[in-house]
Structure 1
Amino acid sequence: MEWTRLLSTKRQRPGRHQDVRSADTDLRSEFEKDYHRIIGSASFRRLQDKTQVFPLDKSDFIRTRLTHSMEVSSLAKSLGQNIGESILAHKKDTSFTPGMKEDICNILQCAGLIHDIGNPPFGHYGEFAIREWFERNLPVLKYHGTPIEELLEEQMREDFYHFEGNAQALRLVSKLHFLVDENGMNLTYALLNTIIKYPVASTQIRPKSGDIREKKMGYYYADRELFEDIVMETGAGNCRHPLTFILEAADDIAYKTADIEDAFVKGFITYHSLRDELRKLQNREKKLAVPEQAEWNRFRPADKLVELYERAKKNGVDNPGDYAVKNWIVKVQGVLIGYATSGFTTHYDEIMNGVYKTDLFADTPAEGLVKLLGEIACKCVFKSETIYRMEVKEAVMLDNLMDRFMGAIIKYDDPAQKLNSIEERLVSFISNNYKKAYRYHAEGQPDIYRLYLRLLLVTDYICGMTDSYAKRLYQELNAIMA
């Protein structure tokens, strides 16, 4: 892969002709224009009311998808600066220029903002609930007397069984943001390619292959032509775009550390429980035989946490545990940025040749810490009774919304079937932008493909909901007083 193609400024709709005056006054790069398109979009604003970990939380401190996305954006840009400078300083690639460094920073900043923009309400559990709804219902839902599962082509069917927020992100920014025309936000291909974490279709998922790009699907059957156009333009083909590795590292750093901090603030973990878990890791890995061991020993995560705690006590801080954990998070982020940078530059040739199969922390001293942070969050938060109770409520709401809207949408736009009065009202609730996008892409298409697009229309609508809207709509449809 070559940076001259990877950093493609092509868009679905070419830029309109500009007069001399506008060309002289707008000095932004194409990727800086992407940033302003994203920031000004309603889809981005809605992230402020979407769950990161704790749904509908009333605390001002706890992160939402919006604050998480902003943190990922910041970390991704920082990583881009570090990695770009390293490529230049060590002459890793003679074709790489200072201008390219600036471009990758701008692309990564944008990618961080939209990497979760397709996620449904109620966090990642929302994805599970939607997938499981399709597993239960596609075999029994019928269209003109035949189970829909039997009517859909293989990839159409697998799209629903492997429903994925990452694939929904590409769909949202490229088609559903239907304001000017059918091209969505009309973002650059370099940016769109960067947010495609898994450049495979739903029929090509191989989670046990050992190749990270095959872990999940990256695009829907409905968006396959756009995907092919993007990867042909950038030259990435079915490989991951190099910037995707950097985006993923920024996401890992952001949520692995933020989940710990939010869990601490909510009381799911304490200073002492975190210290004890880190000591186990430190004792396990103190004989780690890697070149970076000396640098890792200077950090020693458990010792650093204790050092911060003792400093707080010495300085008379009222809550030394709070001081220690929050400052430790900042220190860890700095260390992980360093290892992600070295991970990319160390494996630069493999990444650029499309043969690197894992994340940037693999086989570094930071790998164990990243894994441990995820395990702590899973054990202390995600598998807690409090979260389980929330998720059961969320599943009830999402199942009910899927039941109601799917029942209506199967009949919608089908001359052979008539919507009843309730179904007509349900369809009227769906965003006109989404229905306009459906009509544009369904025009002249075969009946089964139109049915497939209508099923996607419901997931488009539900994924566009905020947590509060999904809860409120569920209550209204079920005549539940708030």
Structure 2
Amino acid sequence: MTEMGPDPQGLAIYASRPSASEGRCHPEQRPDLRNAFQRDRDRVIHSTAFRRLEYKTQVFVNHEGDLFRTRLTHSLEVAQIARTIARAMGLNEDLTEAIALAHDLGHTPFGHAGQEALDACMAPYGGFEHNLQSLRVVDLLETRYPDFDGLNLTFEAREGLVKRCPLDQAESLGAIGRRFIDGTQPSLEAQLTNIADEIAYNSHDVDDGLRAGLLDLDQLCQVEWVAAIRQSVNAAHPGLGGRRLIYRIVRELIAQQVEDLLAESRRRIATADIDGPAAVRRLEKPLIGFGAEMHAQHRALKSFLYDNLYRHYRVHRMTTKATRVIHTLFELFMADTRLLPPENRQMALARAERRGERGQARAVADYIAGMTDRYALDEHERLTSPKRLT
């Protein structure tokens, strides 16, 4: 019996259904207690790559403070926001959660600085993109099962991991990459999780930036949307200050984005001719999104954070060091594969035999991308410090 499983109750006509899944690369028997999307979620949670997210940077290097968000806490927050919206819209919560929890599995150490550095290292060899790396993790790099590489997730979960893809690489992804060539859309659950990711990291980077002292509330109120929220919170709670005020403002940021997303997405769906998930995929534009005013407010906040948080001199110092670490590791491993752990060296040699230097580089990138912040720093010290001989 091939895997299908019962459909959750209360799904809208346009929701993804496990009984109609396009399946897995390797057919499997259905488990007794779970449907296909629930199995996807559970496999992600039990994966090695998921556990490593605890020690991977969101904005701040993990060891800089115990209360800053990591890729793991960020993924949990995305899942919470996405599931709330999915439930309100009658979408499939299990699939939504699986995509949300897996969306950052391919992220490098040191956040976006690490990704940019590894992409620069890989420029002669096809580049590096963390969404595509997440797909590599679930399709190839996890080694938990005797019958296949990766996690063997459903097509619907896998397509939700790839937000963007260069056209020259889309063909190699098969059915997963087809929509980038045809200009069509993924499932509504995938569209929703993409926006929930943006809601989570914008709102929570505000919180972390204020906590770290890189931003202050008066400065943040240069964003008119935040200033208006602060004014409404002050009116409702006179004299509120400190962390309580910040928490209330961040909660309101999230709530307003969620409410607008629900209203606009429902409006778009109502005006579209949608009779099922297949009709969603045939569209040229997404159905899940903000209204024009909220989109502008969201972009204004994002721009403010880029200029005042991500480019803050303290963050820049960290990202500069992180970039140097990534470049040094890549150059050392490319020059001498004997520096790699035995399993990774064997992989590099095998891929080099098939694809030459390009294959070796991809194996090196896989190894570096899988590192936590702490492991990357330790590996860099082991390879470069005269005081560390082992």
Task: Give distance in 2, aligned partners of 1:59 and 1:113.
Answer: 23
Q: Tell me the residue number matched to 1:259.
A: 205
Q: Tell me the residue number matched to 1:13.
A: 26
Q: Tell me the residue number matched to 2:144.
A: 179
Contact 1:118 1:168 in 2 (8 A): yes
Shift of 1:201: 3.6
5+ residue gaps, structure 2, are 1-12, 274-279
Task: Give distance in 1, aligned partners of 2:342 and 2:315.
Answer: 30
Name the larger-Rg structure: 1
Superposition map of 1:11-410 within 5 A: 11-16=24-29, 26-84=32-90, 101=91, 104-135=92-123, 138=124, 157=125, 159-160=126-127, 163-180=128-145, 181-198=147-164, 200-201=165-166, 203=168, 224=172, 227-230=173-176, 239-242=184-187, 243-275=189-221, 277-278=222-223, 281=224, 301-309=226-234, 312-314=237-239, 320-348=241-269, 349=272, 351-356=280-285, 360-361=289-290, 363-409=291-337
Contact 1:231 1:237 in 2 (8 A): no
Contact 1:347 1:356 in 2 (8 A): no
CA displacement 1:67-123 (0-9 Å, x = unmatched): 000101111111211222xxxxxxxxxxxxxxxx3xx21111111111111011100
Shift of 1:430: 5.0
Contact 1:309 1:323 in 2 (8 A): no
Task: Give distance in 1, aligned partners of 2:353 and 2:51.
Answer: 35
Letter in 2 for 1:467: D
CA displacement 1:426-473 (0-9 Å, x = unmatched): 1335548xx56985xx5xxx9562543222101000000000000000
Task: Give distance in 2, aligned partners of 1:268 and 1:113.
Answer: 28
Q: Secondary structure at the match of 2:380?
A: helix
Q: 1:259 to 1:166 in 2, by over 3 A?
A: same
Q: 1:311 to 1:263 in 2, by over 3 A?
A: same
Shift of 1:53: 0.4
Aligned length: 365
Letter in 1 for 2:74: H
Contact 2:82 2:192 in 1 (8 A): yes
Task: Give distance in 1, aligned partners of 2:220 and 2:203.
Answer: 12
**When the two structures are superposed, what TM-score results if normalisation uses the length of structure 2?**
0.84
Task: Give distance in 1, aligned partners of 2:167 and 2:209.
Answer: 34
Task: Give distance in 1, aligned partners of 2:257 and 2:216.
Answer: 22
Letter in 1 for 2:185: R
Q: 1:35 to 1:448 in 2, by over 3 A?
A: closer
Shift of 1:260: 0.5
Q: Tell me the residue number matched to 2:380.
A: 474
Q: Secondary structure at the match of 2:160?
A: helix
Task: Give distance in 2, aligned partners of 1:380 and 1:4.
Answer: 40
Contact 1:197 1:240 in 2 (8 A): no
Task: Give distance in 1, aligned partners of 2:214 and 2:322.
Answer: 20
5+ residue gaps, structure 1, are 85-100, 139-156, 204-216, 283-300, 410-423
Letter in 1 for 2:261: A
Give me the identity figure in percent: 25
Shift of 1:397: 0.8
**When the two structures are superposed, what TM-score results if normalisation uses the length of structure 1?**
0.69
Shift of 1:34: 1.2
CA displacement 1:358-391 (0-9 Å, x = unmatched): 9712x43211221122122112211111111111
Letter in 1 for 2:66: D
Q: 1:474 to 1:430 in 2, by over 3 A?
A: farther
Letter in 2 for 1:78: T
1:427 aligns with 2:340: yes
Letter in 1 for 2:228: D
Shift of 1:306: 2.4
Q: Tell me the residue number matched to 1:151.
A: none
